[in-house]
Amino acid sequence: MRCYLNKLHRAITFHLRYATYIMETPLNNDQKIRLFLAIAGTILLWSSTFPAIKFALESYSPTSVACLRFFISAIVLGIIAIRKKVKRPDLKDCPYFFMLAFSGVFAYQLLLNYGEKLTNAGTAGFVIGTTPIFTILISHFVFHEKMSIAKIAGVVACFFGVYCIALSKGTHWVINHGLLYLCCGAFCWSIYFIVQKILLKKYAPLQVVCFVLWIASILFLGVSHPSKILQTLIYGRIGPSLSIVYLGLFPTVIAYGLWAYVLSHMQASKAALYTYFIPFISAFFSHFLLGETYNDYFFLGGLFILSGLLITNRNIMVYFVRIVQPSRQKETSKP
C-alpha cells in the first residue's frame, strides 16, 4: 500500500510541475496545419460532450447514458485493439487500471450525468473544468506538499467562481445537489489524471484507454437495467439515442485519438492551455443547441474559474509570457 502511495505522490508532483513534458521538434507547415486541426477537433468534440449528455438525459437515465456510451466505445476500441494487437498489461499493474476505470470513468461519468440531470450543460462544463484545482488539493492534504501563494489564490478564485455559478440560479446561495455531484466528479477526474501518469510511463496511450474503458464497461453493466435500456431504445425518441451513439464514438474514441496525436507533437503543459476554452465553447453550444440561458453571475463565475486555473498553472503563465514577449520586442525594435 505504501508503495502505491509513493508512486501516486511522484505522479502528482510530476503532473503539477511538468505535466507530460515532451521535447518539441520543429514542424513544417503541413504538420502545423494537422496539429491545429487536431487541437481544434479535440476541443470542439470535448466541448460538445456536455450538451450531448444533457440531450440524451431527456429520454435515458444517467446510468443508462453512461452504460450505452461506453459499451459503444468498448466495442469500437475492441476492434481497434485487435487490429493493433494491443497486449495485456502486467498483473501487478491491475490495481492502477481498476483505479482509473473506477474513479475516472465509472464514478466520474455517473456523477457528471446525475449532476447534469439537476443543473445544465453550461454549469457542468465550468465545474468539471476545476479538475486541476482538486489535483492541487489532493497533493496538499494527502501528501502534505506546500501550496504557494499563487496556488492558494487560484484555488480561492476557482471556488469563488463555482459560488458565482451557484448564485446564477437565484439571488441566494442554495445547496444544489447537482453542483455537489459535479464537484465530486471533478475530484474523481483529477484522480484519473494523476494515476494515468504512472501507467503512461510504461504503456502506450491506446493500451491504457482500451483496458480502462473495458473495465469500466463491466462496472456499468453491474448497475444498469438492460430491460429498461432496451425498452427506451425501441420506444423512445431517436434523437437522444443518436446523441449516445455520438458520445460513444466522437468525444470518447475519436477525440482521445486526436489528443494523443497532439501530445506527441506538443508539451502537455502547453496543450492544456487550449482545454481551458472548453467550458466557454460548451456554454455556446448549449445555448444554441439546447436553448440554455445564462446571466451575469454565470459568466463572472466562469471568468473567476479560468483566472484561477491560469494562476495555478505556472507553465501556462510562462507560455503566455513567451508568446507576448517576442511580439513586444519586434514592436520596440522597429524604427
- Distances in Å between the Cα of 22 and the Cα atoms of 14, 18, 264, 265 are 13, 10, 7, 8
pLDDT digits (tens, 9 = 90+) for 7-55: 555 544 444 444 433 334 577 788 888 889 999 999 999 999 999 999 9
pLDDT of residue 315: 52
CB count in 10 Å sphere of residue 43: 21
Lowest mean pLDDT among 82-96, 128-142, 281-295: 128-142
Lowest mean pLDDT among 170-184, 205-219, 246-260: 170-184
CB 248 within 8 A of CB 70: yes
pLDDT digits (tens, 9 = 90+) for 275-316: 888 999 999 999 999 999 998 889 999 999 999 988 887 655
Cα separation of 218 and 141, whole Å? 32
pLDDT digits (tens, 9 = 90+) for 93-121: 999 999 999 999 999 999 999 999 999 99
Cα separation of 157 and 306, whole Å? 9
- pLDDT-above-70 percentage for the chain: 83
Cα separation of 145 and 143, whole Å? 6
CB count in 10 Å sphere of residue 300: 16
Query: 162 is written with which cell numbers?
Result: 463555482
